[in-house]
A and B are shown apart, each in its own frame.
Chain A
């Protein structure tokens, strides 16, 4: 396997560098996921409101997130807003801003879907048992909604991790960038390193996302 560049991986601290690059991507996605879940719950609840203005605003918000590539949003925030407003935004902060903007919409839509999928009879039965509005939410609606939401939000984590691979485009040194640096540095001694290193990056992403998506499928089956 020497000529396919696997050896480069174990030269010096290369493998550790790759892993720390991966951690950068995972850290950005975890922070964004937490923000998305917390604010997504609020946004999702607001989406079920009957207010016309709110409805139009959320409709436009969802449509923007649905059709604008995340890369374009990254460029707008990192290169565009800094130019217009003249502020100094760190790459990592703008990445978190963009992925949260995207995640809140996704999560909000999931929450809205889960809330309206609770059959009306659940509300009526709770009312017939003499519960008041607050009690109905705490004891009847929320437990069912959360059960439906957990597998879907776990799925959101894997999608977030996959999407954060884009941050190398705004200059964040994450796993792909580190991989490129390693390949460049060993261009002469090991010209085929690109194969080994990129194969390892491919595998690393798979090893992170696969268990998480398995878990989400398992929970979905168990709780449905």
Chain B
């Protein structure tokens, strides 16, 4: 391994890391938003919309992100919808994640016993109070483990962006290997940069989960 080579590559990897993080976290934000709306639609059995949402989740949960991205990036322009690689990556990730988040939040909502709704009502709470103080805190707490797992999964999935010529970490590594054939150095840097991106999320996620598990049992 040649350290000088690795140091000279650092700026390239740093730029790629920023791009990957930007697209990745934007995608996660879209996913959470879609998930919240989607899970509410399914949980409250809103007519027609619930069928659309469940068809969407089935479709996106049962196909690979790579295929979704290829469809958005290469196929949609043929019917007049052109998007830049970055927009394609962000929305591809957002739509994939939205389907997973919908499932996670929905099971969070479904896990709340009926008696919680009834007790809140019998205490004279209004519908919005019930949600604000009784339902949401519990639903959020029970969805956190799934949420953390989904966030890590989505950030990992960003590695396929290189196929739609988005200059992310994977693309940079592949490009450098192709140009200078310093395979080992490039791969070591790739691993280090993915660790920088994902290890903090994993550790923080674990801490959050542990805290919430305590909150659930009330001590």
New A-B contacts (7) at CB < 8 Å, excluding given A83-B184, A165-B64, A191-B78: A67-B201, A75-B173, A162-B64, A194-B74, A195-B76, A198-B74, A213-B62
Q: Looking at the complex, which one of A4, A72, A201 makes contact with B191 (CB distance below 8 Å)? A: A72
CA distance A166 to B156 in the complex (A): 13
Asked if B159 is an interface residue, CB under 8 A from chain A, the answer is yes
- The answer to whether A80 and B156 touch (CB under 8 A), given A75-B173, A158-B62, A198-B75, is no
Contact, CB under 8 Å: B187 / A80: yes
The 9 closest A-B pairs by CB, nearest first: A69-B159, A209-B62, A195-B78, A165-B64, A67-B198, A198-B75, A162-B64, A71-B159, A195-B75
Enumerate 23 A-B pairs (CB-CB under 8 Å) in ascending A order.
A5-B78, A67-B156, A69-B170, A70-B156, A71-B170, A72-B159, A72-B190, A76-B191, A80-B184, A83-B183, A84-B184, A162-B63, A163-B64, A165-B66, A166-B66, A168-B66, A176-B70, A195-B75, A195-B78, A205-B67, A206-B62, A206-B63, A209-B62
Q: Mark A11-31 against chain B: 1 for CB-CB distance below 8 A, else 0.
A: 000000000000000000000
Residues of B within 8 A of A67 (CB): 152, 156, 194-195, 198-199, 201-202
Q: Judge whether B163 is part of the interface by a CB distance below 8 angstroms.
A: yes
For residue B71, CB closer than 8 A to chain A, the reply is: yes
Question: Contact string, A181-210, partner B, CB cutoff 8 A, digits 1/0?
Answer: 001000000011011011101100110011
How far is A192 from B158 in the complex, measured between Cα atoms in Å? 27
- In Å, the complex CA distance between A147 and B70 comes to 38
Question: Size of chain B's interface in residues, with CB distance under 8 A?
Answer: 40
Q: From A66, A166, A191, give the contact of B202 (CB < 8 A).
A: A66
- In the assembled complex, B29 has its CB within 8 A of some CB on chain A: no
- Number of A interface residues at 8 Å Cβ cutoff, please give it: 40
In the complex with contacts A192-B78, A194-B78, A166-B160 CB distance below 8 A: yes
Complex CA–CA separation, A192 to B74 (angstroms): 10
Complex CA distance for A199 and B177, rounded to whole angstroms: 32
CA distance A168 to B174 in the complex (A): 14
Inside 8 A of A90's CB, which chain B residues have their CB? none
A80-B183, A210-B62 known; A202-B68 Cβ under 8 A: yes
Give residues in B with beta carbon < 8 Å to A.
58-59, 61-64, 66-68, 70-71, 74-79, 152, 156-160, 162-163, 170, 173-174, 177, 183-184, 187, 190-191, 194-195, 198-199, 201-202
Most buried by A among B63, B68, B158: B63
Interface flag for A121 (CB, 8 Å): no
Cα distance, A72 to B183, chains bound together (Å): 13
Chain B: minimal CB distance from A105 (Å): 14
A76 and B187 form a contact (CB under 8 A): yes
* A201 CA / B74 CA spacing, docked (Å): 13
Given A79-B187, A206-B59, A206-B63, are A66 and B152 also a contact pair (CB < 8 Å)?
yes
Q: Which residues of A contact B77 (CB under 8 A)?
A: 194
A68 at interface by CB-CB < 8 Å: yes
Q: Is A7 an interface residue (CB 8 A)?
A: no
> In the assembly, what is the distance between CA of A12 and CA of B184, in Å?
43
Residues of B with C-beta under 8 A to A183:
74
